[in-house]
Amino acid sequence: MPVMAELRARLAELADLSALGGLAGWDQRVMMPPEGATARANQLATLDRVSHELASADEIGEWLEELEGSELDEIDRDIVRVARRDFERQRSVPADLVGERAQAAAAGQATWQTARANADFAAFAPALARNVELARTYAACFKDAARPYDALLDDFDYGVATERIEAIFARLAEGLRPLIAGVGRQPERRAVPVGIPIEAQRAAVGATLRRLGVSEDSWRVDVSAHPFSEAVSRRDTRVTTRYESGSLESLLGALHEFGHALYERQIAPDLERTNLGRGTSMTIHESQSKLWENHVAYNRAFAPVLAEELGRGGHAIEPDALYAELAQVRPSLIRVSADQVTYPLHIILRFELELALIEGGLDVNDLPAAWNDDMRRLLGVEVPDDAAGVLQDIHWSAGLFGYFPSYAMGCLIAAQLWQQIEADLGSQDEALRVAEVGAIREWLAEHVHKYGRRLDTEPLVERATGRGIDVAPFLAHAARVVGG
């Protein structure tokens, strides 16, 4: 078999194993009975160990050496370039450490679910301490990283350094401060009557997603404690949301996860089962979910669609009243239900805390107090208990350090991309009023989605918008929301 074909065959196996791991993780969070947790931790650890062994095997290095300098087509050149990067990262990490992290993550998620339900951080602290310890050990494997946190960031957003994020977040916080201070001067807006029945939410979620292109032949829509999406393949897409009586969170979460899912579905078909056939970074992934959440779901022009589907589900509401609730800016406790203006402050808080955890400035046992202090400092909010505070997110239980910055960075890029969409296509207000989103989907496919991992974060943003990551479009968007 020619060398390039051998490399492609190995990458296809790795893609298949990754998909199976994603499917097992989806099942764990959606359908698995609680007593399956220990066995699932072992199964996921085994999958990770096998994948790591295949991805770091000597023959890959030999194939890459043989291919370097060869005449290859454009896609194969990118496959080899990214394979080299991935191979070197895999070789830097012992297989046993990969398995330990996977097992600790699976066990940590099970512990977190119980601790969160009981608002008991002390019950979760040992699992978190173990994940922090393993994250530090993992970061130390990458000798070229300028800072330990850089090594963790590279798993989620290759090439974006800690110092770059610190600088962007400093400008973002500075720009948001006067907007948040002015929230109390907002004009009075009608609020949505409380008590939107879960049945109405469920009907509206399904109907709205169908109008955006979700169909039963290649999608699933389910419920989980923490909304997420999983792309098992380009034709097997799983999204979840969660329902709470009286809340619009289920609708917003569903559109958020639709953005993630659409990204994976619109990657160029010829990249499937290669190392390029998935989203290039979590920052770009979050830009896609936040585009559909902030600039579609929250858009005044889309309110008639949401109101119509809630009405069909049995809860009558006027579009103007619905938008009034969506446009409210209120510092709040919970990240996933935060308004679009204050949301990035929740991420800045988490970034600062996990950076301190990883780099030694904060002990795990001091985390709840530090969390509560930062909620007062950044958002002016008092935290009543650990469930509404430090235990609200699943990420640290799964050992996902370096992931959180992507959420706020995604907000910035989403605003930048939306600005470019309307510059290229014109205002989308009329289309959104009737949920005609085909032009938006096609623009995203052509300018963002099709590339998969062929372009990293900032080069992709530059290709799509003509400049690197820019805080200004998001701050302009936020000012419009606050101004009414």
Tell me how long the chain is.
Answer: 484
Separation between Cα atoms, residue 32 and residue 35, nearest integer Å: 8
Separation between Cα atoms, residue 329 and residue 243, nearest integer Å: 21
Q: Which one of the listed residues 230, 249, 257, 286 is annotated catalytic? A: 257
Query: Does 318 participate in catalysis according to the annotation?
Result: no
Q: Enumerate residues 6+ apart whose C-beta is below 8 A from 35.
A: none
Classify each residue of 356-369 as buried b or exposed e, where b means 16 or more C-beta atoms within 10 Å of its C-beta: bbbeeebebeebbe
Active-site residues, by number, are: 257
